[in-house]
Structure 1
Amino acid sequence: MDATNPLSDVRAAAPIRVRSGRRIADRVLRVSCLVATLIGAVVLGSILLMLILEGVKGFSPGLFVEPTPGPGSDGGGIANAILGSLVLTLIGIVVATPIGVMAGTYLAEYGRTSKLADLIRFLNDILLSAPSILIGLFVYTLMVRPMGTYSGWAGGVALAIIATPVIVRTTEDMLRLVPGSLREAGAALGAPPSRVILSVTWRAASAGIVTGIILALARIAGETAPLLFTALNNNSWFSPTLMGGVANLPVMIYQFALSPYPNWQSLAWSGALLITVTILALSVVARLVIKNPKAR
């Protein structure tokens, strides 16, 4: 380096300044990400801790075998709400699964880049991000008003509408990940496209499809807004026909948490803890299915 040439000094120092600036920017970004992560973890941990501390207080043997008590009553449980939530969620996922899987299969295997497929994807994205309360109002107008009463069937349909776009998106994405060579191998053996999809494509993507169904199940397990307009609630056991109000955990938690009765508030905390544990368990199962090499 020429000591008498100031330009050479600038050129020599420039790369050092650039690298130093990048190091500083990298450290600032790392610290920012770490701080944001800690803030999120603290907030989430505080919520979970409060939920556990308050929810465990209401746990008792009668919680799972007795129906919800009347206003101002002592004791009772949430057995009817648990059973109602299981029935509504089962109806929703049973209706949504075949529709979602078949629609996702059409988009990935048949429609692909067609205009109809693009329109379906666009509508599916809108439905995926639509507020659940709007879906509740839609089903209320479609089913509750014509029937003249709330029902578990309307609640199940509302939950199915929410779950379907999740299954559609996951199924399409998983099928698109299947190598084209597998389809070509099936076609080379003389199998029609339907047989290739049933025996090859679905089997290769089965883990991802099942994961999408589990995620959709976790998505609808805690929905409250659509059930307020469809199934509502009931402080006793619901009718076998599912007509009239059907007790369910989300609406029960909403109503009991806003009540002035300590017993109802305690049951609301216990129900909230139960739903949280259930959704956490479903999420863990979904991750285990994804990571299971045998399932792939």
Structure 2
Amino acid sequence: MFGRAQRRRLWNGLFVAATVGATLVALVALLLILWSLITQGAAGLGPAIFTEDQPAPGSPGGLRNAVVGSLIMCGLGMAIALVVGIFAGTWLSEYGGRSRYAHAVRFLNDVLLSAPSILIGLFVYEILVRPFHGFSAYAGAVALAFLATPIVVRTTEDILTLQPGALREAGMALGATRAKVIRSIIWRGARAGLMTGGLLGFARISGETAPLLFTSLGNQYLNTDLSQPMAALPTTIFQFALSAYDDWRQLAWTGALLIAVAVLGINIIGRFLAREARPK
């Protein structure tokens, strides 16, 4: 029979082996995904990807209209999410505290954070597409904003809560109002963390497809009119990947590689900023 110390060492060894094995499985899966994207998508990289629009089957072309559309809708969606998310997160951290209303807001934010993106798309379709009888980039940006806002709210509250209370006391001791202290001291001290929240929100929405299928729909031409349907990389990838044309499937792989590289780069920058934002 094993002694107590031997049983503890055995269970500890089994637990460590299980965690290491799970980590290796996740890393292998990630490497396989990246390898498939690189091997399948790198062949389509070239200047035409960023200078030419969606082609007809069998014709040369690129993804300019989709790239520009994604940048426009993600940019507008993040502008909405940053304004709403930073103010909401600031209220939760600085004013709401442990009140019942603050707990309700946090609960609803968590629900929205875990809501399926297709439900967000259907909701925005009912309020911004169906009543106006047309798809638009405005509706797509609002759908993306709904997905990014909970992330910004959560990160804003967390990073502001980490700011030392001495900063607030020092500002108020000098005669500044609470709002002035938050704007001029707390937000400035948490600037890197707030940027991290924005980057994480952008990474979250940059690959969303379902909400855009119900809102912006897509456009085979370059379009900057926000009141009209607009192309986006995720929807174009969805359309091209299901096609029977080899050149369209190649563009789908290349578009997927572009999104993967963008999300990976944003996450690396976000990690760096989060490390810099930690109190010394």
TM-score (norm 2): 0.96
Number of the residue aligned with 1:160: 145
Of 65, 85, 95, 2:70 maps to: 85
Number of the residue aligned with 1:220: 205
Does residue 224 of structure 2 align to residue 276 of structure 1? no
Q: Which digits, 9 at most, give the CA deviation of each residue in 1:66-114, with x for residues without a partner?
A: 00112x2221100110000000001100111011000000011011112
Number of the residue aligned with 2:238: 254
Number of the residue aligned with 2:44: 58
Q: Please give the alpha-carbon distance, in whole angstroms, between the structure 1 residues aligned to 2:47 and 2:222.
A: 18
1:221 CA drift (Å): 0.7
Of 178, 188, 192, 1:203 maps to: 188
| One-letter amino acid of the counterpart of residue 170, structure 2 | A
Of 200, 219, 236, 1:234 maps to: 219
Query: What is the DSSP-based 3-state SS (H/G/I as helix, E as strand, rest coil) of the residue aligned with 1:259?
Result: coil
Number of the residue aligned with 1:113: 98
Contiguous gaps of at least 5 residues in structure 2: none
Do the aligned residues in 2 keep the contact of 1:252 with 1:268 (CA within 8 Å)? Answer: yes
| One-letter amino acid of the counterpart of residue 230, structure 2 | V
- Aligned pair count reads 280
* Structure 1 residue runs of 4 or more that deviate by more than 4 Å after TM superposition: 293-296
1:198 CA drift (Å): 1.1
TM-score (norm 1): 0.91
Measured on the aligned residues, the alpha-carbon RMSD in Å equals 1.6
Q: Please give the alpha-carbon distance, in whole angstroms, between the structure 1 residues aligned to 2:279 and 2:47.
A: 38
Do the aligned residues in 2 keep the contact of 1:89 with 1:220 (CA within 8 Å)? Answer: yes
Q: Which digits, 9 at most, give the CA deviation of each residue in 1:107-162, with x for residues without a partner?
A: 11011112221111111111011001000001000000111111000000000111
Q: Please give the alpha-carbon distance, in whole angstroms, between the structure 2 residues aligned to 1:69 and 1:95.
A: 32
Do the aligned residues in 2 keep the contact of 1:105 with 1:172 (CA within 8 Å)? Answer: yes
Q: Which digits, 9 at most, give the CA deviation of each residue in 1:227-278, with x for residues without a partner?
A: 000011111112x322332111000001100111101000000000000000
Percent of residue pairs bearing the same amino acid type: 48
| One-letter amino acid of the counterpart of residue 136, structure 1 | G
Q: Please give the alpha-carbon distance, in whole angstroms, between the structure 1 residues aligned to 2:192 and 2:95.
A: 21
Number of the residue aligned with 2:31: 45
Q: Please give the alpha-carbon distance, in whole angstroms, between the structure 2 residues aligned to 1:295 and 1:63.
A: 43
Q: Please give the alpha-carbon distance, in whole angstroms, between the structure 2 residues aligned to 1:293 and 1:253.
A: 36
1:178 CA drift (Å): 1.2
Q: Please give the alpha-carbon distance, in whole angstroms, between the structure 2 residues aligned to 1:98 and 1:222.
A: 22
| One-letter amino acid of the counterpart of residue 198, structure 2 | I
